[in-house]
Structure 1
């Protein structure tokens, strides 16, 4: 098949997986309200749905014996996710009126994208702890790579992360209505998500063969950026509706699940690291993003959120990552 056809299959597969996760996300949003979770804490719950395509890709990668694609997609998506969604959220809210935000005019004058400060303490800082644990399990030479025991440890870490987010972010519960149609759409969403994840891996396999590149590079720079597109579109829509904190905290919950539960399929089949320099450099930048996120939200100014220069700093950090990989790791320039 032509390279262009596989590229189209990849795009369609990613959007199919996103459609499936969207229909899984709606019941989880209702649960957030019913359980009385704050917007910041609810990001952990919604992250179960938004991270499910990455988890599905890793399951398929493990089953097909191409774990490097899954590993590359995980690292690539967690590196690009925060800069992409914060940038889109900032651009989407540069209009005159935002619902339910009486201070928006002032925020426009100050070039501020305001976010609930709990996003730093409830989401970003615990996520940094998860990344430190993942690096400790994967990178040191004596036990380098992923083994089944690593998957169990990371699964326990996600359970602890979700528990602290739920208990620290409690609010008054709300009454919600459940429909049979919504439940069946969620079930259908799981099926479509699995199908989309399968064809995401298949198309990436064919694209890396066509371009003559390694599977982990294909995961990093082909699968991951394309997989970020549905989240970018969703962030634009949610941010413009005035729900800025949910739009910009879901990504942390997404990444926390990706870097824990997402590693489980790769750990169960055993995954070796062939390009150690690429993986540790990726880990450095994957950790840098939430560190900047937390610092900007919590200590970046008199009001919590992102200012224009901070948004540009996040974008610059990702551009630096790409440059380091291309020039120093792969030595393509």
Structure 2
């Protein structure tokens, strides 16, 4: 099968997986209202679904014996997602929202509005998760992803979700469950499974045709493709006036990817073949939420990201690409 046909299959599979995730969002959104969760806490709950394509891809790659694709997907999607979604959110929020004087102040100041609570609820706990991954995988005696590491990371996600819900609980609302949307959720789950299978299958064939390693394919093919459809969701949510929800959801998604999506790779014992490539990528995974936390902490009366801070996120990703090309992969 021609490599370009596999590229088309990859794109269609990524779309199918994210369509499925969108259908699964409905029951969780209803639960968020019923439980009275704030935007930041709700993002942590909804991330179980919004990050499900990445989790399904890693389950599939582990089952097919190509866990390095999953490892690359785990790292690559978590590096590109924050600068990409923050940039998309900034441009999507450059419009007036009816009867929202607070947002007008952010527009006048060229800021991307953000609830400061998102740092304590999401960003700092996510940094703790990355630190835990480093402790479990970097020391020579423990190097690699092992079953015990997977169980520890599942426990870390349970703690992350519990913390977010406790910190962001308000009075709940009464909701009515729609049977049609519930059945669509079932169809969504099937779409995620089928999409994940073909994402991994297409990546296997593309890396074979291009003669590149599976982990590099995971970093720059699978990782980007599983993240790219989130652009439309972020744009739509922010355009609809939910600026904080649209901007913070990426942190919650990444926390799920680094914990729940870590589990299947650890369960089949994934070795780290290229240590330099792994630690460099893990360092940039940590850099993105660190910048996020520092930039929000700098904001005073109006909480959010300024235009130069948005550019700083994008510059950090460009530095990552240059580091990979010239110092890690040594392509030139």
Length-normalised TM-score, structure 1: 0.98
In 2, the alpha carbon distance for the partners of 1:57 and 1:261 equals 12
Contact 1:114 1:303 in 2 (8 A): yes
Larger deviation, residues 97-106 vs 189-198: 97-106
Runs of 4+ that moved beyond 3 A: none
User: Any stretches of 5+ residues in structure 1 without a counterpart?
Assistant: none
Q: Secondary structure at the match of 2:305?
A: strand
Map Cα deviations across residues 179-201 of structure 1 (whole Å, 9 max, x no partner).
11111111111111000000000
Question: 1:177: Cα distance to partner?
Answer: 1.5
User: Any stretches of 5+ residues in structure 2 without a counterpart?
Assistant: none
Q: Which residue of 1 aligns with 2:178?
A: 179
Q: Secondary structure at the match of 1:113?
A: strand
Q: Which residue of 2 aligns with 1:292?
A: 291
Contact 2:17 2:194 in 1 (8 A): yes
Cα root mean square deviation, aligned: 1.0
Q: Which residue of 1 aligns with 2:90?
A: 90
* Mapping for residues 174-213 of structure 1, pairs under 5 Å: 174-213=173-212
Q: Which residue of 1 aligns with 2:58?
A: 58
Larger deviation, residues 172-181 vs 124-133: 172-181
* Mapping for residues 265-276 of structure 1, pairs under 5 Å: 265-276=264-275
Q: Secondary structure at the match of 1:75?
A: helix
Q: Which residue of 1 aligns with 2:331?
A: 332
In 2, the alpha carbon distance for the partners of 1:215 and 1:99 equals 48
In 1, the alpha carbon distance for the partners of 2:26 and 2:306 equals 30
* Mapping for residues 297-312 of structure 1, pairs under 5 Å: 297-312=296-311
In 1, the alpha carbon distance for the partners of 2:243 and 2:107 equals 14
Map Cα deviations across residues 42-68 of structure 1 (whole Å, 9 max, x no partner).
111011011110110011000110001
Q: Do the aligned partners of residues 256 and 99 (structure 1) sit closer, same or farther apart at CA in structure 2, a change above 3 Å counting?
A: farther
Q: Which residue of 2 aligns with 1:222?
A: 221
Contact 2:106 2:302 in 1 (8 A): no
Q: Which residue of 2 aligns with 1:6?
A: 6
Contact 1:17 1:194 in 2 (8 A): yes
Q: Secondary structure at the match of 2:255?
A: helix
Length-normalised TM-score, structure 2: 0.98
Aligned length: 332
